[in-house]
Copies of this chain bind each other. A is one copy, B any other.
Amino acid sequence: MPQTNLSSSRRNFVQRFSAGLGALSLSSALPRLAAATSKGKSGKLGIALVGLGNYSTKQLAPAFEHAKGCYLAGIVTGTKAKEAVWKEKYGIKPQNVYNYDNFESIASNKDIDIVYIVLPNSMHAEYTIRAARAGKHVICEKPMALSVAEGQSMIDACRENDVMLSIGYRLHFDPNTREIMKLAAEKPYGNVRYVQSEVAFTIGDPTQWRLKKDMAGGGAVMDVGIYCIQAARYATGEEPIAIRAQEFKTDWEKFKDVDETVSWQLEFPSGAYSSSTTSYNMRTNRLYVSYQKGAANLEPATKYTGIKGQIQKRILDVTPISQQARQMDGFAQSVRSGTPSIVPGEEGLKDMKVIEALYRSLANGGKRTLI
């Protein structure tokens, strides 16, 4: 989860760019650097974090301590006060500190191989495209965009500029989650019959951007419901073909703009079925999978502090790892080797397709909707 609050300067910036991609001024003719070669094969790749909210501050920046293939090389922030703090704390060179006005000049910075977009959802497409045009490889936080169309434009921009795009799906780098994926691929317990995935928390500050539709694109569905969609997809190893969705609201003031609680069910080609609930007004965090001949359970299934669970009777390893370090290292390795990310833009786009179908189903009173 990215930050839950915006500094006032970033908020102003967001307002300035609320017109969306039309505000793009960067020329696509700008000279582009070759894909990360600055550190050589043995060196660490430099990552610049764009947006220094909670997720950057409390999760990503500390994770670099555990990273082996990348380091925190730069920052992009609209808050002057943060610059000094971050420079001091993480030893960031003055020339690697950018704001939203001079971001384009990052193109000529050889220290920065990868740009990590940790901005509000509405800015993901814009900044991913800017970074791609600046010749930088991109990690973009989830949800990748506000729509399938935006997501596609990000993929296209990265392809056109010959940079790699990865979505911030840290759980694909978590060993316990990977065990669940392996069960879908190797089928030791047969086909998946059922997936129950739910992620919900009680949201705080009612003024935060997550509760504004123009910045978040939606409520709990966009923020944590996407984890449930991911989970149903990686637990089955299949793409869903239909969805039915239901909305429930108790606080019409706080959630006047976005969804508070949404349930949905997915149908998969093999006959697997999934049921999910997400919410900003309750607590749950689980992935349960029923196979033809067994079951697996992760709980919590998405927490930064560790994914716990069991497969049949076997309790999964609880040795702490840094999901974010593994994720960033994984992408650095992809960049270094020229191998596509295991969570490329296309992976994010698949979730966006489900989310769009989910909202269509909601708009149609819960009717079964093809994805």
Residues of A within 8 A of B (CB): 193-194, 196, 198, 200, 244, 246, 248, 250, 261, 263, 265, 267, 271, 273, 275, 277, 279, 281-284, 286, 288, 290, 295, 365-368
Residues of B close to A196: CB separation below 8 A: 196, 198, 277, 284
Residues of B close to A267: CB separation below 8 A: 248
Q: How near does chain B come to A303, taking the closest CB pair, in angstroms?
A: 14
Given A250-B271, A277-B194, A366-B366, are A288 and B295 also a contact pair (CB < 8 Å)? no
Closest chain B residue to A201, Cβ basis:
B290
Q: How near does chain B come to A225, taking the closest CB pair, in angstroms?
A: 13
**How many copies of the chain does the oligomer comprise?**
2
Residues of B close to A261: CB separation below 8 A: 194, 273
A284 & B288 in contact (Cβ 8 Å cutoff)? yes
CA–CA, A200 to B265, complex, Å? Answer: 16
Main secondary structure of the interface of A (DSSP, over half): strand
Closest chain B residue to A267, Cβ basis:
B248
Q: What are 23 A-B contacts defined by CB distance under 8 Å? A: A193-B281, A194-B200, A196-B196, A196-B198, A198-B275, A200-B290, A246-B366, A248-B265, A248-B273, A250-B273, A263-B265, A273-B277, A273-B282, A282-B290, A283-B295, A284-B288, A284-B290, A284-B295, A286-B288, A365-B365, A365-B366, A365-B368, A366-B368
Q: How near does chain B come to A283, taking the closest CB pair, in angstroms?
A: 5
B244 & A246 in contact (Cβ 8 Å cutoff)? yes
Query: In the complex, given contacts A193-B281, A263-B275, what are 6 additional A-B residue pairs having Cβ atoms less than 8 angstroms apart?
Result: A194-B277, A194-B282, A196-B198, A196-B284, A246-B265, A366-B367
Residues of B close to A198: CB separation below 8 A: 196, 275
CA–CA, A215 to B258, complex, Å? Answer: 46
Residues of B close to A365: CB separation below 8 A: 365-368
Residues of B close to A282: CB separation below 8 A: 193-194, 273, 290
Residues of B close to A288: CB separation below 8 A: 284, 286
CA–CA, A273 to B249, complex, Å? Answer: 9
CA–CA, A366 to B123, complex, Å? Answer: 36
Residues of B close to A273: CB separation below 8 A: 248, 250, 261, 277, 279, 282
CA–CA, A295 to B284, complex, Å? Answer: 8
Given A196-B198, A365-B367, are A290 and B295 also a contact pair (CB < 8 Å)? no
Q: How near does chain B come to A139, taking the closest CB pair, in angstroms?
A: 32
CA–CA, A271 to B250, complex, Å? Answer: 6
CA–CA, A261 to B279, complex, Å? Answer: 24
Q: How near does chain B come to A236, taking the closest CB pair, in angstroms?
A: 13
Q: How near does chain B come to A368, taking the closest CB pair, in angstroms?
A: 8
CA–CA, A271 to B261, complex, Å? Answer: 11
CA–CA, A265 to B248, complex, Å? Answer: 9
**6 closest pairs, A vs B, by CB?**
A193-B282, A250-B271, A194-B282, A366-B366, A282-B290, A275-B277
